[in-house]
Structure 1
């Protein structure tokens, strides 16, 4: 049975459907048909503008964002696809706090829906710090299809892992006698 580390919280019946698509080599086809386009947001300046537009449309009263960027250091090994931070500094007798959003660089090559989902997720953290009911309601307010996109993003990450494993020669065949 193929372990599905990104889909572990989903019911067994859903995982079985994904495993069936993997066995039939249809996962890439499913994703390609559902998400054929790639977005045009390819640099930090464009990502900042994109994020500011979403914030202005949905979270006008949220704290200002000082920096938004694609981060090559964020990846699945750190279990982070996006990161929101508040950096506080003392300058003279004033405390200055800067809000930053970092998006994993892998999102440069994804469908626009996936980029929107991860930006919405990080923006929601401006108002709700924990992944609670209010947080997910806010995500759905900003992106009505949020839960489906999150699921499909997890399917995409599964597909990426499988493709990477297929490119790498197996260690099992080496050194056995």
Structure 2
């Protein structure tokens, strides 16, 4: 239950019971019916840019958004945001990148939106503090529910493997 350690014991117990009964996956599949259609780096870039333009229009531009198959293994993270600074002539140029774990290629759109919102929020707020989570819930009012459900899904992956969501028709 490492993904749910910060949650109340009562919630952890409910998840453990569903897992023990073999019903945790079914409950997630019932709540989130379809996988999203964002499968390529270009589609992910377009998806994130729509969110950025809706909520963070005046923030620094993004140069790259991509799925990263090594992300979870190397950094134990589901997404990263980086700023890369380079000297070009007598100017210092910085580029912002967002990388999303490849795990998010085959999940419901709500989980993809949660991680995209999380990484976009880091453009304005570096730390995971009150202002950061206020920005996340401004961009996605159900942010905390989606984060919890994603953590439940990660718990399911550890115990029973990935779920296969049907593609959106």
TM superposition score normalised by structure 1: 0.89
**Which of 127, 152, 167 lines up with 2:149 in the alignment?**
152
Match of residue 26 from structure 1: 23
The secondary structure found in structure 2 opposite 1:61 is coil
Match of residue 90 from structure 2: 93
Match of residue 72 from structure 1: 69
1:78 deviation in Å?
A: 2.6
Bigger relative contact order (CA 8 A; separation at least 6): 2
How far apart, in 1, do the equivalents of 2:74 and 2:11 lie?
24
Listed as ranges, the gaps of 5+ residues in structure 1 are: 166-177
The secondary structure found in structure 2 opposite 1:151 is helix
1:1-177 to 2 correspondences below 5 Å: 4-75=1-72, 78-164=75-161
1:77 deviation in Å?
A: 6.1
How far apart, in 2, do the equivalents of 1:65 and 1:78 lie?
21
C-alpha distance 151-76 of structure 1, shift in aligned 2 (>3 A): farther
Listed as ranges, the gaps of 5+ residues in structure 2 are: 163-169
1:163 deviation in Å?
A: 1.6
Greater helix content: 2
The secondary structure found in structure 1 opposite 2:156 is helix
Tell me the alpha carbon deviations over residues 79-100 of structure 1, each in whole angstroms, 9 at most, x when there is no partner. 2000000000001101000000
TM superposition score normalised by structure 2: 0.93
Runs of 4+ in 1 over 4 A off after TM superposition: none
Bigger Rg over Cα: 1
